[in-house]
Amino acid sequence: MMTTINAFLAYKGIYFLTFLLLALGLSGIIVCKNYMKKLICMNVMQVAVIFFFLCLGQKDGGTIPVAVEGLSAAADYINPLPHGLMLTAIVVSLGTTGVGLALLLRIKEKYGSIEEDKIIKREKKF
């Protein structure tokens, strides 16, 4: 029993947490009424994806992927590809968040609020 749990925690546990994070982010986007919170939840989701990819690139006994004298086998370094991909994903999420914040600024200016129900009410005036 304990070994099963141990094996689970060691080999799959982080997936569980990542997907939990993803699900929470998603539910936050759906449940929250405040646009700022929605934006934060969106970021949480993106972070979950980044974790997920990094999990895939993990390797037992691997070091950071910068070549060191004497280590040349593939098993010696962790997988560089997910890290590279996630650099891109991070930049993209940065861009998205920035644009989201700029839009929020405009919404706040125009509608005087970033609460969804108030915005829906005031939207009809335009």
Partner 1 sequence: MRHLPVLIVLLPLVAAQLCLLISKIHYKAGRYTVLAAVTGSLVMSVMLLRQVIAEGSVHYYFGNYKVPIGIEFYVDTVNALILVLICLIGALTFMYTTPFARTTDKTLVGAANTMISLLITGMLGMTATGDVFNLYVFLEITSLSAYCLISLGGSRGIVAAFRYLLVGTVAATLYLIGVGILYGITGTLNMSDMAAILSKWGNEGAMLIAMCFLIAAFGTKMALFPFHGWQPSAYTHAEAGSRPLISGVMGKIPAYGLFRYMYCIYGTDYKYFRVFLIVLGILSVCSMLYGSIRAMAQTDIRKMLAYSSVAQMGYIILGFAIGTPLALCGAFLHMFGHAFMKGGLFFATGAIRHKFGTTKLEDFGRIYKAMPFTCGLLVVASLSMIGIPPTVGFFSKWYLAVGAAGTGEFIYIAVLVLSSLLNAIYFFKLIEKVFIQQKSAKTEALPAAEGPEVPLDMMIPIVVCFLAILLLGIFNAKIVDILMLAIKGVAL
Partner 2 sequence: MKKKLTVLAIALILTLPFTFLDILPSIGDVNSAPNKHVSAYYIENAISECNSPNMVTAVIVDYRAFDTLLETTVMFLAGAVVLLVLARKPSIKNRIVIPKSKRMHKDKSGNPIYKTVNKDVMITVIQPLILVYAVYVLFHGEVSLGGGFQAGALIAMAYILDVLVIPDKKSVFVLPKKNSVALAGLGPFIYTLTGIICLIGGGMFLEYAKLPFPVHTAELHSIGILAVEVGVTIGVAATIITILNAIMERVTFDDDNY
Contacting residues toward partner 2, per CB under 8 A: 8, 10-16, 19-20, 23-24, 26-27, 30-31, 55-62, 64-67, 72-77, 79-85, 87-88, 91-92, 94-96, 98-99, 102-103, 105-106, 108-113, 122, 125
Q: Which does 46 bind (CB under 5 to 8 A by kind): partner 2, partner 1, none?
A: partner 1
End-to-end CA distance of the chain: 63
Consecutive H or E run containing 120:
helix 116-123
Residue numbers of the site for partner 1 (CB under 8 A)? 22, 26, 29, 35, 38-39, 42, 45-46, 48-49, 52-53, 56, 81-82, 85, 88-89, 92-93, 95-96, 99-100, 103-104, 106-107, 110-111, 119, 123, 126
| Distance in Å, CB of 19 to partner 1, minimum | 8
Question: How many whole angstroms separate alpha carbon 20 and alpha carbon 26?
Answer: 10
DSSP assignment, residue 61? T
Q: Which does 38 bind (CB under 5 to 8 A by kind): partner 2, partner 1, none?
A: partner 1
Degrees to nearest 5, angle at CA 101 with 36 and 114 = 40
| Distance in Å, CB of 2 to partner 2, minimum | 17
Degrees to nearest 5, angle at CA 67 with 65 and 71 = 105
Other Cβ atoms within 10 Å of 31 Cβ, number: 11
